[in-house]
A and B are shown apart, each in its own frame.
Chain A
Amino acid sequence: MNEMYKAPPKEIIHSVKECINLINRYTPQKEVDTLMNLLSLYAKVPSEAIVLSTGSDLLIKEFMFLFSNNRKIIIAEPTFVIINNSAQNADSASLKIKLSEPDFKISLEPLHHELKKPSLLVFDNPNNPTGSLILTQDDIETILEHKNAILLIDEAYFEFSKVSYVKLINKYPNLAILRTLSKSFGLAGSGIGYLIAGDLICKKFQGLEIMLPYPSVIAGIKALMHQNYMTDYINEVETEKRRIIDFVLELGVVVYPSYTNFILMKTELQGISEKLAELGVLVYDASNQLGSEYFRVTIGSKKENDFFLETLKNIVISNKD
């Protein structure tokens, strides 16, 4: 649901179509190497610091599997559902920190005692579904100074937030950063996720390399070679985001600061997502995470956004007592 609304540029589509003719073959290593080199240039880290996988969902699950043994898993509440469910299904004990409105920031105060013990912290920054930046650099360094703690930060939306802590991997061997080409590059269907970390963490993934499908690798290569479309998309999202926020504030809808390509909103109406769905607008129903008066709307095309705003306006007006 939280995808780029339009198809990626022709160059990408064309190359992916071409490579389908070689679908009988395993993905050629040289193409994988090219993708790794491009990612290395893009993230400004050596390619040895990158672990490539089919989507960041799988990397989250693998990371928890590799590093949660005898460690308490610490996550935010709410958080990206895959993080939540992976923590819940792990054998280790889990501790969630409730994020509070309006800024949904993590408070480390109650964690001081926990951080002295072996722990695995997994935070999405910006957070999904709130869209907030929940950690500051100070928070991150405070966590990482504890040698018993391992920290995984999911930066799936960092191109929108323009905040990344990738540089800290040189200083802290207990830090890993997770990224994806599914969001700002609009390649959700290709499922390309990558992890950036120091030797100690990357070594654990040796021998577990996942072969990405050939079309995905080609899509990734071409996307990284044509990054302009990604920056254009981000600018478009920012402009539309401002327009949407101004409009819904007029309706009395509560809007939370967004550092992503979606916005979290709250109305006084319960089951708002369902009402929108009945009228043809699909939004992410945050009722399982925050309550049924909350919903997360992805920035779509101008036309889609107009339809959403009009529909929301009608619902809000018709429910005013």
Chain B
Amino acid sequence: MKTKHNYKKKIGLIVNPIAGMGGSVGLKGTDGDIYKKAIKMGATQVTPIRANELLLNVKNKEKIILIVAPGKMGADIVKDLGIDFEIIGEIGTETTKEDTKRIAKQMVEKSIDLIIFCGGDGTARDIFDSIGLEKPVVALPAGVKMFSSVFAINPRAAAEIIDKFIEGTIETQEKEVLDINEDLFRKDILQAKLYGYLKVPKVLNLIQSGKTGSGSGRTIEENKQDIAQFMIENMEDNILYLLGPGTTIKTITDNLNLPKTLLGIDAIYDNKIIGRDLNEKAILELLNKYKKTIIIISPVGGQGFIFGRGNKQITPRVLRKVGKNNIKIIATTDKMRELVCLRVDTGNIEIDKMLIGFGKVITGYKEELIVKIE
């Protein structure tokens, strides 16, 4: 009879060896070939140190088996840590984003439970391209640009999350991956585009007491379902609905058994999809055709932007035509807790002025939150 079971969690580790090298030499990122310039300027690798610090801080070392990328993308870092590991895939002397993408995919095929990746926004995009929402990830920040909200605060915080994951006290949530235009960023212009979502563990509040806990103990998923149910019950015929990006909004279309582009603007009329991934021109055409329009949006971009990040297709012209009163903002209570206020940056001062003040966010079934819009 077998008495010993193997309960070890399989955890993938991918380290982008060149991420973050631009930072110390003031290059604001190493996308493309910029990293070669960084090396010439004397930049040293930062990711191995960060990844090493993370792994040293993991308490449940004996309960995991690491599935690591070869050489400097993983194996070199873990070999002396006393943690079981297996190497997966192959890399050349110079690593590229294709290595990250390929190896992440191979890890998923190997049924890993979670992937740790170490890098910046660029690495996050590569992981998203490769595995999407298939497996949860822990993102260890080591890049120069880390505007995406997927990242843990620091290696120690990431180690704590991994321990909680191993102990099973975890729920996952989708967090945003952003695409920052690196050429503009070097000129100090921040232009962020919503690129996708990754599934990130959310550490639950572990301290219990008689009076702790708010929100009647609903999960993020239940919260999304409540919002979707409320929105669907209040949807009317003969109104054009423009749906913005995000997983909260996608819950509405999922409940209506309709497809939704995760990152695009889609249109619904009388419970039917009449437009997908619309640009400004297509939206304006629809606005001319239909009498009344309601825009349903959710804050994007980590800092609470409702317009101007991730949904640029909804232009000032579109907003002027639809009007402030026909904008419905939806978001989970979890998301709203992290935001001090909502923000707008449409690129048009007059429209920004129309939108700022106080706004109502639908945060549940018959539940709204008043919050400042700046």
**A residues in contact (CB < 8 Å) with B:** 1-2, 77-78, 81-82, 84-85, 88-89, 92-98, 100-101, 107, 109-111, 270-271, 273-274, 277, 282, 284-285, 287-292, 319, 321
Contacts and interface: CB of A to CB of B under 8 A. Distances in A.
Interface in B187-238: 203, 205-207, 209-216
B112 interface: no
27 contacts: A81-B213, A81-B214, A85-B214, A85-B215, A88-B364, A88-B367, A89-B216, A92-B366, A93-B366, A94-B367, A96-B367, A96-B369, A101-B340, A109-B358, A110-B358, A110-B370, A271-B157, A274-B206, A277-B207, A282-B207, A284-B209, A285-B212, A288-B214, A289-B214, A291-B338, A292-B203, A319-B156
- Where chain A touches its partner, the secondary structure class is mixed
B373 to A, nearest CB: 10
Interface of B: 153-154, 156-157, 160, 203, 205-207, 209-216, 336-338, 340-341, 357-358, 360, 363-364, 366-372
Contacts of A284: 209, 212
Contact of A98 (B209, B214, B371): B371
Contact of A93 (B216, B367, B372): B367
Give 7 nearest A-B pairs by CB, closest first.
A110-B358, A93-B366, A98-B371, A96-B369, A97-B370, A285-B207, A288-B214
Nearest to A128: B211
B366 A84 contact: no
Contacts of B370: 95-98, 110-111
Contacts of A88: 215-216, 364, 367
A8 to B, nearest CB: 20
A321 B155 CA distance: 11
A107 B359 CA distance: 12
Contacts of B154: 321
Contact of B153 (A77, A109, A270, A288): A270
Given A2-B211, A88-B367, A288-B214, 12 more contacts: A1-B210, A78-B214, A81-B214, A88-B364, A95-B370, A96-B363, A100-B341, A110-B360, A110-B370, A285-B212, A289-B337, A290-B337
A85 B216 contact: yes
A81 B366 contact: no
A95 B362 CA distance: 9
B207 A274 contact: yes
Nearest to A78: B214
**Residue of A95, A96, A109 contacting most chain B CB atoms (<10 Å):** A96
Contact of A100 (B205, B211, B372): B372
Contacts of A111: 370
Nearest to B337: A291
Given A288-B205, A290-B337, A84 B215 contact: yes
A70 to B, nearest CB: 13
A292 B211 CA distance: 17
Contacts of A282: 207, 209
Contacts of B153: 270
Nearest to A276: B207
Given A94-B366, A100-B341, A110-B358, A288 B212 contact: yes
Contact of B211 (A82, A94, A95): A82
Nearest to A319: B156
B340 A100 contact: yes
Nearest to B341: A100
A128 to B, nearest CB: 9
A100 B206 CA distance: 26
B368 A96 contact: yes
Nearest to A98: B371
Contacts of A84: 214-215
Contacts of A285: 205, 207, 212
Contacts of A287: 205
A39 to B, nearest CB: 24
Contacts of A78: 214
A271 B203 contact: yes
A90 to B, nearest CB: 9
Contacts of B357: 110
A100 B213 CA distance: 20
Nearest to B208: A285
A190 to B, nearest CB: 15
Nearest to A79: B214
Given A88-B364, A274-B206, A291-B337, A81 B369 contact: no
Contacts of B160: 271
A109 B369 CA distance: 14
A93 B371 contact: no
Contacts of A292: 203, 205
B175 to A, nearest CB: 14
Contacts of B206: 274
Contacts of B157: 270-271
Nearest to A318: B156
Nearest to A273: B207
A232 to B, nearest CB: 26
Contacts of B364: 88
A93 B364 CA distance: 10
A98 B372 CA distance: 8
A122 to B, nearest CB: 14
Contacts of A273: 205, 207
A97 B336 CA distance: 12
A92 B205 CA distance: 29
A172 B368 CA distance: 28
A277 B341 CA distance: 31
A164 B317 CA distance: 50
B192 to A, nearest CB: 22
Contacts of A271: 157, 160, 203
